[in-house]
Amino acid sequence: MSPELFKKRTKAYALKIMRFTDGLPSSRATNVIAGQLLRSGTSVGANYRAACRAKSPADFISKMGTVEEECDESIFWMELLEESGKSKDAAVSELKKEGSEILAMVVASINTARIRRNNPQSAIRNPQ
């Protein structure tokens, strides 16, 4: 997936997270978890955009590590909402699926970048 398409996908993920958290019922626990989910879910796209402007391979890997952490964290908050019964909506399952797909692509990108950094002559190349 091209960087531009992935930027759009992570931005769409953030927008879905925003809509989802706005629709959650209000309670003390739900409000706290929704706030955490909102922060981590929206930062996936923001941090990916920062990674696209990395100054070096090491900087890219570091920034993508942040994307990985934020994406995994957002999945955690959704699991808590689902397992606590605070959200039985099918939307949480779809968001978790999307988050897992994004996370897998981020991890693959990090692994590719590490291979390239350690072996600049590697045959592995992502089309730009």
The two structure tokens encoding residue 58: 């090491």
Query: C-alpha angle 34/19/67, rounded to 5°?
Result: 65
CA distance to 11, 13, 23, 102, per residue, from 28 (Å): 28, 25, 15, 29
Residues 23-39 pLDDT 10s? 999 999 999 999 999 99
pLDDT at 7 over 60: yes
Q: What residue ranges define each of the domains in the chain, with the CATH number in brackets? A: 3-118 (1.20.1440.60)
Residue type, 53: R
In this predicted structure, the answer to whether residue 127 has a pLDDT above a threshold of 90 is no
For residue 125, is pLDDT > 60? no
Residue 6 has φ and ψ, to the nearest 5°, of -70, -35
Report how far residue 82's alpha carbon sits from residue 65's, in angstroms, rounded to the nearest whole number.
Answer: 26
Give Cα separations from 70 to 50, 82, 127 (angstroms). 13, 18, 26
The helix or strand, by DSSP H or E, that contains position 73, with its residue range, turns out to be helix 57-83
Which is it for the CA torsion 26, 74, 40, 92, positive or negative?
negative
d(CA 106, CA 47) in angstroms, rounded, equals: 11
Q: With a threshold of 0.85, does the pTM exceed it?
A: yes
Provide the token pair at 73. Answer: 């964290």
